[in-house]
Chain A
């Protein structure tokens, strides 16, 4: 049996490498957990601040901001049903049969009307299929458009202003008071309560009969 004279297998540098490896491994493990949790909140996953390409480069800033057209002129179903509704081509043409009638930018709109083929917009505010969101009840109870959709009136191209995570919904469903506004300010993008938002919010909540404490149970949104 060949005998070896030394038990010293490793060079002094080996310890350094081993320690580095241990620290590195632990960092990678910890980092991936933190990274995954952060990734779920990233703009990539929540798709905020990302204006997708649309068939017509429609500018909410121009229409809602500069021209001051009320949201409900185009999104006419928002107070009546679960969906706000995308405007039919005919709605676009109420104005654009008079102005900018030859603008190249609006060619898809005119074509839609002529061919009776709808415009294919890309939906920006979309919830998962298992979320049963209703616009009408939110409006009826004093939640303004800007609360979820952000400052649409400043968006040249529409993007998602808030991450539509369940946490985002829950924050308001747990404590709706500061997010309520008077019925005539629902579509107002710039309205801010004077002073503490809880004061007017509390009054509105009492007036419209918010069912506090019942808004966070699952079947409110899922079924």
Chain B
């Protein structure tokens, strides 16, 4: 049997082979050396993070390059960036489940896993950036002896709820989808320790028809709810800026602009991970060139929509004619931080154009390079949005500058460790690709051939 043009997966593999191959990754880990090397790097970064946090909590947020007017910079900027990345997993998984795009089944598991840890990295930043983080609990409504409550008009307060909701829902969605695969892995496990570990996580899943029935319904409803949640969360994050009056922030364009940007950066990270895991675990049979092709198309589409945001931001300002907005636009494109703006434009959109070519989309390393460029570009964009508005806002007399310090960078690179360590552990210990869904895809394709 050979693969036909409409197939996502090569149909010359049995579902038993797929099952053995995927459960075998945690149970008989194939890529120990690469994994340990990656883990060593990740742990080193995590250590850097821990050192940075200790320094931060000991001395205060003044170890960063912040000042007045630039009261927010790296912390919030990386928060937005991480959260944007953290949007892809749930979006891919939920949206494509609803639209019945079966190619998702090879990607959704690790995309969702990536989402969780990216959201954790994002979620930790608002804590780190507090002047007095030990009073974080004041942001939650609890009956305090001081009789004072949180302030629900604040976008920061919205943030807390949005991010915690997003994290909780992502975890539940991810776990709900994972249960059958955990059961599969449990049944493949031979060592007692693995059996007990996976057995407890699988909750005694036995694949009963009625269970599957309820599971399918629940999972689809969850997906249906998760899609607007994804859209809402980054819209809400954008309100952190749009709710102010500052030029360059105060725009109704921000919510869609942020959501699209988030999806853009998220798909880029998914592409990177897809290429990497495929090579690492030899998953060429499951993550195929067709997957790359589809990912490349999605990346191109979200990228173009983000580009539309860039264009419309300019149009909006020119049409509005507010002198402060014009001043900020001019400064963004020609001022001290113009390299950020143009850097964002170049990294985001120039290599992206290669994806118009099918051959490029279907080449792993090319897709990887374009994606890395997008990740960098989106990082620059978030930096640009934060700093260029703050360092020169309304009154010229408060205009200042911003330069990140060593600790800004160390905290940022540290969060990459914070992301990688649990992610590497996750791909080590749980199936990286949804087994039963892949099997289902395979069977459906076969049926299509047979029928």
Q: Does A40 lie within 8 Å of B199, measured CB to CB?
A: no
Q: Does A37 lie within 8 Å of B142, measured CB to CB?
A: yes
* Stretch from B144-152, B160-168, B253-261, B336-344 forming part of the interface with A: B144-152
Q: Interface size bucket, A side?
A: 10 to 19
Q: Does A9 lie within 8 Å of B145, measured CB to CB?
A: no
CA distance A23 to B144 in the complex (A): 27
Q: Interface size bucket, B side?
A: 10 to 19
Chain A residues within an 8 Å CB radius of B144: 40, 167
Chain B residues within an 8 Å CB radius of A7: 187
Is B195 close to A, CB under 8 A? yes
Q: Does B145 lie within 8 Å of A163, measured CB to CB?
A: yes
Q: Which of the residues A4, A33, A163, A166 comes within 8 Å of B147, measured between beta carbons? A: A166
Known: A2-B190, A7-B187. A40 touches B195 (CB 8 A): no
- Interface bits A82-102 vs B (CB < 8 Å: 1, else 0): 000000000000000000000
Q: Does B199 lie within 8 Å of A167, measured CB to CB?
A: no
278-304 of chain B: CB within 8 A of chain A? none
Closest A residue, CB atoms, query B194: A9
Closest B residue, CB atoms, query A163: B145
Q: Does A9 lie within 8 Å of B199, measured CB to CB?
A: yes
CA distance A170 to B144 in the complex (A): 12
Is A18 close to B, CB under 8 A? yes
Chain A residues within an 8 Å CB radius of B204: 10, 15
Q: Does B146 lie within 8 Å of A9, measured CB to CB?
A: no
Q: Does A18 lie within 8 Å of B145, measured CB to CB?
A: no
Q: Does A166 lie within 8 Å of B186, measured CB to CB?
A: no
Chain A residues within an 8 Å CB radius of B187: 7
Smallest Cβ distance from A217 to chain B, in angstroms? 12
Smallest Cβ distance from B171 to chain A, in angstroms? 16
CA distance A37 to B142 in the complex (A): 8
Is A123 close to B, CB under 8 A? no
Chain A residues within an 8 Å CB radius of B224: none
Q: Which of the residues B145, B190, B199 comes within 8 Å of A10, measured between beta carbons? A: B199
Is A111 close to B, CB under 8 A? no
Closest A residue, CB atoms, query B198: A9
Closest A residue, CB atoms, query B206: A7
Q: A9-B195, A10-B204, A167-B145 are in contact. List 14 more A-B contacts (CB 8 A).
A: A9-B186, A10-B196, A10-B199, A18-B200, A37-B142, A37-B143, A40-B145, A41-B145, A165-B146, A165-B147, A166-B147, A166-B148, A167-B147, A170-B147
10 smallest CB-CB distances across A and B, nearest first, come from A166-B146, A165-B145, A167-B147, A9-B199, A9-B195, A170-B147, A40-B145, A167-B145, A166-B147, A7-B187
